[in-house]
Amino acid sequence: MLVDYIPIGIMIVFGVAFGVFMSKASEWLGPKNPNDVKQSIYESGMEPVRSARERMSIKYYMVAMLFIIFDIEVVFLYPWAVNFKQLGMFGLIEMFIFIVILMLGFVYVWKKGALKWD
């Protein structure tokens, strides 16, 4: 039983070793001529106008967390779609209940104003 996992382990070891080797090869063989322009902060093609230590609004984090929560919930739709015919009517009803609960949560978050960027 455990012997079946040896090829996966070998692939993981080779994958990690290749990643580490390529990172170190770039570091060892790459050009090293830093200057002030190359060491300056660069963000989205524009000069930074504020400090990186500035506080962000809590609404930014709320929207990010809500996006992650609802995005992860949508991932549960894929296995259901793959096994749709095998699950039959029972699977359809269960997924309908799941989507209704998900929509109720979304409507609740919307009514509370968590998605407003005022």
What does each C-alpha distance from 25 to 10, 21, 22, 28, 33 come to in angstroms? Answer: 22, 6, 5, 5, 17
Q: What is the pLDDT of residue 12?
A: 97
Mean pLDDT of 92-100: 91
- Does 6 score more than 80 pLDDT? yes
Q: Assess if CATH 1.10.20.10 describes domain 2-112.
A: no
> Could you report the per-residue pLDDT of 46-83, keeping only the tens digit for each?
666 777 677 777 777 888 888 888 888 888 888 888 88
Q: What is the pLDDT of residue 84?
A: 86
As a whole-number percent, the residues of the chain with pLDDT over 70 amount to 92
- Does 38 score more than 80 pLDDT? no
Flag whether the pTM goes above 0.85. no
DSSP letter (8 states) at residue 83? T
CA–CA separation, 107 and 84 (whole Å): 27
Q: What is the pLDDT of residue 74?
A: 82
